């Protein structure tokens, strides 16, 4: 591919010291990720500047560098040639990391401690990978607060005041529900340290957890007319609009989570049986739902005219380069983009597209659906989980109110 991009100069680039041998596969990798030819050429043109910088520091092999070390060779993008080199270094770092060419970065003492704890969460407690990642990030934040890298003895001399200091630092920026999760992670980590005989047992019991009460939060459901207005505002003449409409329609019809939308694959849509298999990363077991005509039409429109050609099996892909599967955060961005375009006034702590899930539950309840049917659609295992989505609003309370009996006329004496 290098000879196609540079018919006359491809030998010059391929013979560059250190980086020349990787440029052919690098160009193929960029092309597979959806980069246009001109964007690939721009990155390859920065190879001479990168090669000169590597040679000045006497780097002979890319495998001698870590990802951080390679990115340190990116010059300040003050000139056009430097900007080309910066783009090359960023993309080349990702390419080499995927192929495990770069040297692994040595872990810090805090990261080693977190890796041990993450292994315990995975094998000892059987937590889901996403949960392990969240717990590990919170524990790493705690260890950095203790300056564990420079003072590893801090764990053995840990006091309640140290834990309270960390909780106080987070309490200024997090709500009570989030602080409950922080305290739960810390208690679990302290129990793990006690089992490892790093700490004496009982320190975890001294962590107070904020109180959160069931039903204290206001309903997050939107009026159903607002949901229809949001779907109608999506511009379906563009590739992005076709994708966004299909995602929002699936949330508004099935009440799917953002993570479930991002996890959908092409094989999950069963056209012959008219069903759709919804993977549920939060629960672990898939959910089978009927494929409605509206959903099928929206998906066909996206797959035929909106989805870029790609080897990825995920249903929804990015619309910008590099091509690839979307993350759950992209679903939130889609919802917020179209909600802002129509000037939608969201309730406080609406939760992004999750409020559409609440809207579906309330809409079905008002249409006469049973609590069991709504729970089955949402993928809940208990009616208690479904009841969280069905908090009554003022209009519902007005319908429940009974008329006052008329006063009997007074009898004159």
Burial-class residue 184 by CB neighbours within 10 Å (0-12, 13-18, 19+): middle
Q: Are 244 and 338 in contact (CB under 8 A)?
A: yes
What one-character-per-residue DSSP string does 192-222 give? HHHHTTSS-TTGGGG-------TT-SPP-PP
User: Among 349, 363, 352, which residue's Cα sits nearest to residue 393?
Assistant: 363
Alpha-carbon separation of residue 187 from 19, 82, 134 (angstroms): 48, 49, 15
Q: What single DSSP character describes residue 124?
A: I
Q: How far apart are CA 347 and CA 327, in angstroms?
A: 24
Q: How far apart are CA 176 and CA 174, in angstroms?
A: 7
Q: Per this entry, what is the length of the chain?
A: 413
**343 Cβ partners below 8 Å, 6+ apart?**
none
Identify the residue whose tokens are 């099928």.
296
User: Among 68, 45, 69, 47, which residue's Cα sits nearest to residue 57?
Assistant: 69
SS3 325: strand
In the chain, what is the straight-line distance between the N-terminal and C-terminal CA atoms, in Å?
109
Q: How far apart are CA 118 and CA 111, in angstroms?
A: 10
Catalytic residues: 257, 282, 354, 357, 380, 389
User: Among 97, 106, 25, which residue's Cα sits nearest to residue 62?
Assistant: 97
User: Among 79, 4, 92, which residue's Cα sits nearest to residue 50?
Assistant: 92
Q: How far is CA 133 from the centre of its chain?
A: 12
The angle formed by the CA atoms of residues 101, 107 and 111, to the nearest 5 degrees, is 130
């Amino acid at each position: 591919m290098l000879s196609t991009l540079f018919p006359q100069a491809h030998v010059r680039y391929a013979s560059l010291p250190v980086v020349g041998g990787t440029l052919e596969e690098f160009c193929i990798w960029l092309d597979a990720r959806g980069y246009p030819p001109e964007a690939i050429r721009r990155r390859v043109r920065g190879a001479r500047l990168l090669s000169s910088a590597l040679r000045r520091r006497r780097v002979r092999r890319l495998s001698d560098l870590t990802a951080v070390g390679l990115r340190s060779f990116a010059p300040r993008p003050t000139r056009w040639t430097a900007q080309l080199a910066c783009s090359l270094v960023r993309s080349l770092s990702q390419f080499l990391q995927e192929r495990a060419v770069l040297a692994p970065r040595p872990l810090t003492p805090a990261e080693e401690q977190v890796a041990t704890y993450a292994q315990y969460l995975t094998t000892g407690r059987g937590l889901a990978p996403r949960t392990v990642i969240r717990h590990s990030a919170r524990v790493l934040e705690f260890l950095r607060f203790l300056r564990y890298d420079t003072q590893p003895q801090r764990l053995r001399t840990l006091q309640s005041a140290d834990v309270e200091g960390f909780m106080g630092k987070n309490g200024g920026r997090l709500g009570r529900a989030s602080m409950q999760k922080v305290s739960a992670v810390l208690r679990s980590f302290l129990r793990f340290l006690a089992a490892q005989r790093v700490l004496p047992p009982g320190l975890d019991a001294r962590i107070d957890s904020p109180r959160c009460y069931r039903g204290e939060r206001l309903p997050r459901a939107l009026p159903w007319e607002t949901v229809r207005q949001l779907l109608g505002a999506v511009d379906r003449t563009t590739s992005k609009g076709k994708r966004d409409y299909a995602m929002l329609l699936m949330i508004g019809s099935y009440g799917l989570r953002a993570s479930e939308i991002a996890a959908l694959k092409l094989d999950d849509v069963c056209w012959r049986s008219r069903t759709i298999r919804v993977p549920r990363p939060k629960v672990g077991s898939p959910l089978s739902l009927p494929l409605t005509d509206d959903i099928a039409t929206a998906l066909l429109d996206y797959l035929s005219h909106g989805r870029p050609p790609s080897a990825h099996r995920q249903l929804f892909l990015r619309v910008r380069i590099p091509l690839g599967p979307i993350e759950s955060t992209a679903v939130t961005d889609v919802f917020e983009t179209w909600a802002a375009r129509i000037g939608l006034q969201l309730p406080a702590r609406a939760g992004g597209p999750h409020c559409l899930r609440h809207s579906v539950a309330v809409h079905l309840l008002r249409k006469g659906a049973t609590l069991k049917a709504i729970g089955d659609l949402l993928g809940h295992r208990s009616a208690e989980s479904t009841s969280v989505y069905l908090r009554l609003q003022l209009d519902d309370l007005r319908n429940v109110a009974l008329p006052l009996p008329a006063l009997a006329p007074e009898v004159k004496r």
